[in-house]
């Protein structure tokens, strides 16, 4: 597609996307299906442009409103400001007047603008981050504006990290081991993973380093019964299964069939044989109750605001509202309550979110511990050390707290909880699920 036509396609995509009635990646997927003639480069420019606009939306809207000399819809002016093609495509896409307008606006001193505008945050979220992170707020807000790197998890069932790094080196793809996860690899750029043998053969899976550390905290052992309570597309499920060396039973629960369906091809690539996907109606489903008191370890990666993933999903800050957070915390408390019933005495539960808001994180865990004296908090740094991970700088008040400005990961929170052992330990009861 000609760069000029691509610019107006970006305008049309933004017109659809800025209604915020669907996730940004879903809007793009719908466009790409509707326009199969778009080449790989065209798709990349479109995706990079609209995501650049979403990251800087409030700033770009403010700048565009100050100078309407080029005319056109706001979405067109936003696409001009966010254009992410190379210099050649930029000059081919924009008229001389548009180029001059873009250069003039982007040269303005953003430091003169209010912080929430400069860092493109809604007022409620800017206030929440400032209240919770204090002097760290500016660094956190700026880090959230930067695109995330591409992190991979090496499947230890099939390969060692050193072998994967050697493959990338031979392919001239710059890669390095992640600093915290023992299985993580960080790639530069955006290679087409689906074209690489290491991906097709299941040696690696896409997974942020922070997400990988949740599996480290749960630390499942061979032969155990483990439940991934909110499995989604199964990224963490696969990490757990690899730690278990494909032994025992690993249930992947989720309320959405379509999410579990995405696990199937990944599971096939992984080579794991101990994973059992189970669609449940809700957290109190009969299939959950059948495992009560019989499970060794439970991971609860709870549905959350996703505000720790703004580097990848910048639309989340515009789609979420304060009332949504209040609704989510009620759901999170209910899910944690139900998931905790699965544990046998002495069992471990990890409660996690990809949120940076305490009300979704420590607030949920502290309320749960107050109401359930048969559970106790296990210091996350202790667990990390036991698993050979240096937890220095990763733990706040006993819980894992990852932030993009500190750790170059998504924003993640995780608390390790243990059900206190009792004298009437029910032993290693086995259980299976029937349809």
Active site residues: 354
301 annotated as belonging to a binding site for a ligand: yes
Assess contact for 302 and 351: CB atoms under 8 A.
yes
254 annotated as belonging to a binding site for a ligand: yes
Question: 3-class DSSP state for residue 159?
Answer: coil
Q: Report DSSP letters for 408-419, one per residue.
A: SS--EEEEEEEE
Nearest to 271 by CA among 318, 293, 238: 238
Strand-pairing partners, residue 401, are 413
In this structure, the chain runs to a length of: 435
* CA angle at 369 for the pair 367 and 370, rounded to the nearest 5°: 65
Q: How far is Cα 15 from Cα 20, in angstroms, rounded to an integer?
A: 10
Q: How far is Cα 300 from Cα 357, in angstroms, rounded to an integer?
A: 17
Q: How far is Cα 91 from Cα 72, in angstroms, rounded to an integer?
A: 18
Identify the residue whose tokens are 């466009």: 31
Question: 3-class DSSP state for residue 238?
Answer: helix
Assess contact for 252 and 275: CB atoms under 8 A.
yes
Q: Is residue 34 packed enough to be buried (19+ CB in 10 Å), middle (13-18) or exposed (0-12)?
A: exposed
Dihedral sign from CA coordinates of 67, 72, 75, 77: negative
Q: How far is Cα 125 from Cα 320, in angstroms, rounded to an integer?
A: 9
The one-character DSSP state at 227 is E
Residue 394: alpha-carbon gap to chain centroid: 17
Assess contact for 121 and 141: CB atoms under 8 A.
yes
Residues 137-171: b if buried by 16+ CB within 10 A, e if exposed? beebbebbbeebbbbbbbbebbbebeebbebbeee
Assess contact for 152 and 205: CB atoms under 8 A.
yes
Name the binding residues: 254, 301
Name the binding residues for S-adenosyl-L-methionine: 254, 301
């Amino acid at each position: 597609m000609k760069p000029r036509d691509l610019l107006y396609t970006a305008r049309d995509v933004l017109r659809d996307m800025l209604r915020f009635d669907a996730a940004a990646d879903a809007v793009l997927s719908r466009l790409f299906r509707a326009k199969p003639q778009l080449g790989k480069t065209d798709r990349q420019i479109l995706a990079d442009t609209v995501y650049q606009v979403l990251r800087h939306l409030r700033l770009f809207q403010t700048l565009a409103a100050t100078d309407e000399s080029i005319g056109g819809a706001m979405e067109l002016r936003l696409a001009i400001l966010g254009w992410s093609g190379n210099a050649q495509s930029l000059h081919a896409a924009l008229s001389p007047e548009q180029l001059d307008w873009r250069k003039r606006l982007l040269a303005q001193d953003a430091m003169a603008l209010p912080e929430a505008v400069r860092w493109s945050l809604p007022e409620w979220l800017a206030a929440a981050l400032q209240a919770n992170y204090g002097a760290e707020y500016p660094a956190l807000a700026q880090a959230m504006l930067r695109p995330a790197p591409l992190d991979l998890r090496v499947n230890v069932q099939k390969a060692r990290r050193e072998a994967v790094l050697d493959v990338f080196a031979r392919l001239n793809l710059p890669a390095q081991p992640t600093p915290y996860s023992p299985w993580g690899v960080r790639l530069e750029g955006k290679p087409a993973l689906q074209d690489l043998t290491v991906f097709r053969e299941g040696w690696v899976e896409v997974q942020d380093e922070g997400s990988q550390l949740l599996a480290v905290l749960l630390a499942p052992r061979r032969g155990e019964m483990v439940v991934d309570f909110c499995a989604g597309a199964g990224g963490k499920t696969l990490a757990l299964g690899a730690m278990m060396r494909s032994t025992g039973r690993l249930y992947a629960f989720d309320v959405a069939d379509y999410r579990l369906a995405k696990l199937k091809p990944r599971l096939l690539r992984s080579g794991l044989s101990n994973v059992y996907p189970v669609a449940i109606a809700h957290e109190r489903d009969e299939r959950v109750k059948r495992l009560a008191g019989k499970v060794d370890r439970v991971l609860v990666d709870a549905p959350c605001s996703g505000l720790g993933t703004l580097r990848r999903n910048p639309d989340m800050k515009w789609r979420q509202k304060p009332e949504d957070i209040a609704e989510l915390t009620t759901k999170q408390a209910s899910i944690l309550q139900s998931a905790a019933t699965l544990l046998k005495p002495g069992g471990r539960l990890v409660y996690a979110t990809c949120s940076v808001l305490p009300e979704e994180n420590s607030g949920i865990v502290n309320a749960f511990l107050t109401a359930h004296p048969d559970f106790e908090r296990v210091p996350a740094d202790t667990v990390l050390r036991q698993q050979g991970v240096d937890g220095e700088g990763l733990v706040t008040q006993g819980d894992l707290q990852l932030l993009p400005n500190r750790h170059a990961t998504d924003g993640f929170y995780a608390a390790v909880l243990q059900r206190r052992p009792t004298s009437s330990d029910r032993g290693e009861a086995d259980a299976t699920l029937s349809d």
